[in-house]
Amino acid sequence: MAEASGGTEGTSRVADVLLLFVDGPSTLGVSRIARELDLSKAVVHRILVSLSSRGMVTLDPVSREYRLGPAAVAIGARALRESDVRSAALPLLRELRDATHETVTLSTPVPHGRVYLDQVVGTHEIKMTVELGRRFPLHAGSSGKCMLAFGDPEQREEILAAGLVALTPRTVVDPDLLRAELDRIVEHRYAASAGERQADAGSVAAPVFGVSGEVIGAISVCGPRYRVTDEFVAAIAPRVVAVADRISLRLGADPRRTSAAVAAERTAR
């Protein structure tokens, strides 16, 4: 039993090391990884040597820091190719981009946040683009708030209780204010953001559901704040919700029933 526990702990440490490369800088040294994960440098070094031997990370001979290697890139590319939600969404994301002329994105939840899975870049000369694969918190930005509003209630309360970090001066960090906003998102089935995650960006998003009724992602239309006005959001929000519903239906979900169930649960509290 002890051996199994030790093996599980070791596997967790390897995963934690790899996940640091998702959020942090493109290169990381042994000392920083050890400090971030509260591990000894010797343990971190052994993990990195093992990962390096398998092509998961590579060592820069000049800086003596590590970056993700070709094997990690290949795994990520394979995951993107085989993502059911991405395959179901992509044609409809293109339709939504053509209708709005703004960049359209697809996000999915991951532990402690969300990542962008894909984007279809807008047609304007000045446009917004997002960084695929980088983890962002759920409380800032329309896509994250959709997943937080329709997601697991216990996880939502944990996030609210842990303290909300301001990414910009417009990020909502008061838990009570955010709870009230999440209630409105459930009621209207979409979320809007004006400079919450990026100061000069605005967006409107709607949730995507899986066959079991769980929220498995969100789509958003995003662009510069001077174009994503309140009037723009009001005009396109129904279309964004409709496209998100079509993606959910393609995945075997019943988005209206799920949304109604979440709304009833929140009302009953």
Residues 145 and 67 reside in one and the same domain: no
Whether this prediction's pTM lies above 0.75 is answered by no
pLDDT digits over 191-221, tens only? 999 999 999 999 999 999 988 889 999 999 9
Residues 123 and 205 in one domain: yes
Domain endpoint, select from 52, 74, 96: 74
The mean-pLDDT minimum among 3-7, 23-27, 193-197, 203-207 falls in 3-7
**Shared domain check, 240 and 210:** yes
Same domain, 207 and 91: yes
Asked if residue 128 and residue 59 are part of one domain, the reply reads: no
Same domain, 68 and 132: no
Question: How many structural domains is the chain composed of?
Answer: 2
**81, 83, 88, 92 alpha-carbon torsion, rounded to 10°:** -70
What range does the domain containing 44 cover? 2-74
The tens digit of pLDDT for each residue in 46-85 reads 999 999 998 889 998 888 899 888 888 777 766 655 567 8
**What CATH number corresponds to the domain at position 98?**
3.30.450.40
Looking at the fold, whether 232 and 128 belong to one and the same domain comes out as yes
Q: Do 21 and 154 belong together in one domain?
A: no
- Whether 47 and 101 share a structural domain: no
